[in-house]
Amino acid sequence: MATLTRLEAEARARLLTVERYLVDLDLTRGDTVFGSTTTIRFTAREAGDTFVEARPTSLRSATLDGQSLDPAELADGRLPLRGLTAGEHELTVVAEMPYSRTGEGMHRFTDPADGLTYLYSMCCMTDAPLVFAAFDQPDLKAVFEVAVTAPGEWTVLGNGRATREPDQPGRWRCAPTPPISTYLLAVAAGPYHSVRTEHAGLPFGLHARRSLAAELDRDAEELFDITRRCFDRYHEIFDEPYPFDSYDQAFVPEFNAGAMENPGLVTFRDTYVFRSAVTDTERETRGVVIAHEMAHMWFGDLVTLRWWDDVWLNESFAEYLGYQVLTEATDFQPWTEFAMVRKGWGYDADQRPSTHPVAPEPDAVPDTASAWLNFDGISYAKGASALRQLVAWLGQDTFLAGVNDHFARHRFGNATLADFIDSMARASGRPVPTWAEAWLRTSGPDTLTPRPVGAALGTEGGEDGWRLHLTHAGGRPHRLRLGAYDLDPTRPERVLPRAQYEVELVGGAAEATTEHVFPGGRPDLLVVNDGDLSYAKVRLDERSWATALRTLTSLPDPLSRTVVWNAARDMVRDGELAPFDYLEAARRHLPGEAAQVIVSEVLRFAGGPLAGRYLPDDRKAEALALIRRITEQLRAGAGGDQARLLTAVRAAIAATDTPDTLLEWWRAGAVPGGPELDQDLRWRMLHRLAALGATDRAEIAAEAARDTSATGEEGAARCRAALPDAAAKEEAWEAMFDPADRLSNYLFGATAEGFWQSEQRGLLAPYVARYFPAAAELAARRGHALALMVSQSGFPWPFVEAETLALGEKCLAGQAPSPALRRALGDQLDELRRALRVRSVN
């Protein structure tokens, strides 16, 4: 299909104003296509030519102002509209559209648990033409009126309140929307189980497939409570009230993203309806996603970016506000998770060759294909971190005044970076454009390296004060804190807080060292960016690192501890800290760590990238043994804390390299001391046993018969692909890369996750050379979502070798991979280069 360019979008926006879409969908035509009739009412400002996008299976007819257009002229997803005159026009397109199994367009899913079928649309960012004919760009907003014909027993949901047509079984009509962008249209249809309530005079709903009804009912009050609290908090901080007529949240199957901010009908991946035990962090993360998507009702839906170079105007704001509003409105404290998990995603993305500014120049996003690539850790985590710095600089009241000015000036319209910066400058009187140039138009993380000078507290010379030489590489201005801590003289395994110093770094130079003088003796532990208010890689001086190794758990604020853990993680990735030194810190401190997200993320990094990539193959077993010892300590000290037990057992399963213990648990149907061996843990355990050759197809089939859900189907696919058997590997390979594309997106991902196992290098070696051309062909055939999956879940990570790198570079150089695959595969190869460098110095 043709890719829309920025220049084409600008030309079409100059020519057209779009008033209204009438979209009529017929979902009763079988399991491969659905009917789509679209009438678009628009005005041409002057005479000219343009085109409308549609990607049908069959274009039945098209009429412009009552005159038939030739369906044969549809090419590359575009139907030309030639000879438009100035004035009003009406275009009607009648088509049959294809159902999707990749989570793009109109996704169709049949639940293996009960045979019931569910549909939902995903129009972001370029897939609206798979559902209806559209002038598909964000700055041609219009009113949408949607009607749907569905099987009589189905429920239909849309952006506006959906009601059944009287005396027409299966016929639904959605209330007209305010002006919204084409990528935000949403429809969900099927025999959904619904829980409804009302808040602030609006209907609120929760929806999931029937096989998740019990779990949705169990979680409904918590979900509604978070929704109500966040809704009320947004109304406290925003002058503009919620701009739509209802608030439905649908948990849908095989969803690629975490969620999508369709106004009035937010769609979430239905793994957020928890079937098995979860940790408090996972519940907190679900709350952040609810708050994030609600923020989009204003940032993205009410005021929408003009072009995709300003993705950050949607995602950075929703990311920041999701964490901040959940903190203010509930008992959750999610900034620790942001610091420990999300910022790592941002730092990693920002150090790759594919990095880009939070707000790239318009010329850097010339078309929609390149725009897809910026939905990453930079637009989310780094952008949110930049906004947190802006709030620290301006103050929250001034920041919110600028936000409200922005909403008032661009209500139901489109805006750019310049528009937002202008509103912030108007509200604050500060040089916000200068700040934005430094923070939003530059790439890469800054690095802050401290060198304290002076005697320690209580030693000779300490009364004269101490000096900090702080080297700042990167050049952004920062407002941050320095945390000074001293060893407790009565308990040397602890530190006591001495002071927090506010420091402002003016930035400007590529690298500069500033001197700061503080009273007293030099602290035993200095934490730069204490509280994690800024975005920068930080280092610990030698004395501070030695102190942290002894006392890390005693730092009173979990955000302080995350700064230290992230510094250690970055040092491992940069080859400055030996991986086993990181593991030793984990052994000392995780058993006493109170913040569950720190425990789980340190274990994830240790058992994943550290053991699997950064250590030589002959030392992996030693690392896994140490991780298992840590999990044993965690279990022994859990004291009935089920979340802690769950985290420890998950990590123990992943780190197991001999099957004996897992077989004991499996045969007993329980883990000694807990947690309960629920279905999630059973699939995790069986997957690991499969990789170790300690189970077989019959046992996998028996477990799939025990769990007939979609999750069970995915678990069985993952386990079968993990079996150390030549026939199983070839079967999994053929399923993934079959030209008939029989696997859905989730089943593809599960199979890919099972396929590459480090214990099976001899069996898998022939597939490494096959992987790269197969991935390129798959991405070209199946599109963006599968390109990401094959690059990430499908990458041959057991082979951290120069030969793998050479094969990947050859693929990028010679096979013309799709933009999505080029970016995602390029990122994986950059991580492979890093792993090879780290191995070379350890």
Span 473-511, pLDDT tens digits:
999 999 999 999 999 999 999 999 999 999 999 988 889
Give 24-66 pLDDT, tens digit per residue. Answer: 999 999 999 999 999 999 999 999 999 999 999 999 999 999 9
Percent of the chain with pLDDT over 90: 96
Q: Which active-site residues does the annotation give?
A: 293
Binned at pLDDT 50, 70 and 90, residue 712 comes out as very high
- Whether residue 770 contacts residue 796, with contact meaning beta carbons closer than 8 Å, is answered with no
Beta pairing partners, 110? 117
- Lowest average pLDDT, out of 16-20, 194-198, 439-443, 517-521, goes to 517-521
Between β-strands 16-26 and 143-149, what pairing exists: parallel, antiparallel or unpaired?
parallel
- Residue 309, sorted as left (phi over 0), alpha (psi -120 to 50) or beta, turns out to be alpha
- 3-state secondary structure (DSSP) of residue 399: helix
b (16+ CB within 10 A) / e for 68-91: ebebeebeebbbebeebeeeebeb
Look at residue 271 and give its three-state secondary structure.
helix
Residue 512: both structure tokens together: 């500069």
Q: Which residues lie below 8 Å from residue 631, measured CB to CB, with a gap of 6+? A: 603, 648, 649, 651, 652, 655
Element (H, E) at 504: strand 491-505
What is the token pair recorded at 352?
């790759």
Tell me, rounded to whole angstroms, the distance of Cα 224 from its chain centroid.
23
Q: pLDDT at position 586, please? A: 98
DSSP-assigned beta bridge partners for residue 311: none
Give per-residue pLDDT as tens, 291-345: 999 999 999 999 999 999 999 999 999 999 999 999 999 999 999 999 999 999 9
So what's the pLDDT on residue 463? 56
Read off the pLDDT band of 270 (50, 70, 90).
very high
Do residues 464 and 541 lie in contact, with contact meaning Cβ atoms separated by under 8 Å?
no
Token readout for 177 is: 């929307």
Tell me how far CA of residue 534 lies from CA of 33, 478, 563, 753, in angstroms.
50, 7, 11, 35
328: tokens are: 């203010």
Please check the confidence at residue 462 and state whether its pLDDT lies above 60: no
Residues 662/666/670/674 CA torsion (nearest 10 deg): 30
pLDDT value, residue 2: 86
- The pLDDT, as a whole number, for residue 743 is 96
Give the strand pairing for 155-158 and 202-208: unpaired
Residue 146 pLDDT exceeds 50: yes
What tens digit of pLDDT does each residue of 659-708 get?
999 999 999 999 999 998 999 999 999 999 999 999 999 999 999 999 99
Distance CA 647, CA 642 (A): 9
Query: For a pLDDT cut of 70, what percent of the chain falls above it?
Result: 99
Question: With bands split at pLDDT 50, 70 and 90, how would you rate the model's confidence at 842?
Answer: confident
In 3D space, the residue among 44, 50, 99, 106 whose CA is nearest the CA of residue 79 turns out to be: 50
Could you give the dihedral angle defined by the CA atoms of residues 269, 273, 279 and 282, in that order, rounded to the nearest 10 degrees?
A: 30
Q: What is the C-alpha R_g of the chain? A: 28
Task: Give yes or no for a contact between 665 and 653, defined as CB atoms under 8 angstroms apart.
Answer: no
Are 261 and 304 a contacting pair, CB within 8 Å?
no
- pLDDT tens for 794-837 read 999 999 999 999 999 999 998 678 899 999 999 999 999 999 99
CA distances in angstroms from 216 to 64, 784, 828, listed in the order given: 46, 31, 37
pTM given for the model: 0.97
Q: Which amino acid is at 365?
A: V
Residue 454 in this model has a pLDDT that exceeds 90? no
CA nearest neighbour of 600 among 654, 554, 659: 654
- Residue range 191-207: average pLDDT? 98
pLDDT in the model for residue 816:
72
**pLDDT, position 507:** 86
DSSP classification of residue 74 = -
Asked if the model's pLDDT at residue 461 lies above 50, the reply is no
Instruction: Please tell me the distance from the alpha carbon of residue 615 to that of residue 545, in angstroms, as a whole number.
Output: 22
DSSP category for residue 672:
T
* Contact present, 654 and 610 (Cβ < 8 Å): no
Look up residue 481 and give its two tokens.
């804190």
- Asked which of 56-70, 361-375, 581-595, 688-702 is least confident by mean pLDDT, the reply is 361-375
Confidence of residue 139 (pLDDT cuts 50, 70, 90): very high
The 10 Å CB-count burial string (b at 16+, else e) for 778-793 is bbeebbbbbbbbbbeb
Structure confidence by residue, pLDDT tens digits, 526-574: 999 999 999 999 999 999 999 999 999 999 999 999 999 999 999 999 9
What is the average per-residue pLDDT within 76-97?
Answer: 98
Around 648, how many Cα atoms within 13 Å sit in the side-chain half-sphere? 29
- In the block, residue with structure tokens 């979502």: 785
